Amino acid sequence: MALSLRSAVPADRHAIEALVFSVLADYGLHGDPEGTDRDLADLDGVYLKSGGAFDVLIDEAGEVVGSVGLARVSSATCELRKMYLARSARGQGHGRRLLLHALERAKQLGFRRIELETASMLCEAIALYVAHGFKPFTSAHLSPRCDCAYSLELS
């Protein structure tokens, strides 16, 4: 499956929400459009205008099958958010591709540290993060559906 990566545009919003909520449902988790997932309603404001990025993986039919966001926390730190893959795109190396893209993009944006929060039941994602050097850390605040946090110092 040939997939292309591009910056998200406002017209992608509903497709991204559908992807995120579908993947969460696959793991028995619920989307929270009024809380944890409120950022999806304003990708431009939350990600781009603050100095971050939000990118999507598109299939040959133009459908959004993956997403990854970098939200600015401080001038040196960003948070990896909304890294999800549709079931049809899993197990083919696309998660690794999204993560490596996000790490490179974070460096290009001038960040020196990347943090993320996740749910421990997302074991495939956690294994991917750990394989790329992320270490557990104690976050001052975790999103309601997240029970662990990881960080990586970017070189």
The tens digit of pLDDT for each residue in 29-86 reads: 999 999 999 999 999 999 999 999 999 999 999 999 999 999 999 999 999 999 999 9
Give the per-residue pLDDT at 155: 82
Q: What is the pLDDT of residues 112-130, one digit of tens each?
A: 999 999 999 898 999 999 9
Distances (CA, A) of 101 to 24, 32, 36, 53: 22, 26, 23, 11
Fold observed for domain 4-111: Aminopeptidase (3.40.630)
Question: What's the chain's average pLDDT?
Answer: 94
Domain ranges of the chain: 4-111
3-state secondary structure the chain: CCCEEEECCHHHHHHHHHHHHHHHHHCCCCCCCCCCCHHHHHHHHHHHCCCCEEEEEECCCCCEEEEEEEEECCCCEEEEEEEEECHHHCCCCHHHHHHHHHHHHHHHCCCCEEEEEECCCCHHHHHHHHHCCCEECCCCCCCCCCCEEEEEECC
Provide the greatest CA pair distance for the chain: 41
**Which pLDDT score is estimated for 140?**
78
pTM of model > 0.75: yes
% of the chain residues with pLDDT over 70: 99
What digits encode the pLDDT tens for the residues 77-89? 999 999 999 999 9
Give the list of residues 6+ apart from residue 25 with CB closer than 8 angstroms, or none.
Answer: 31
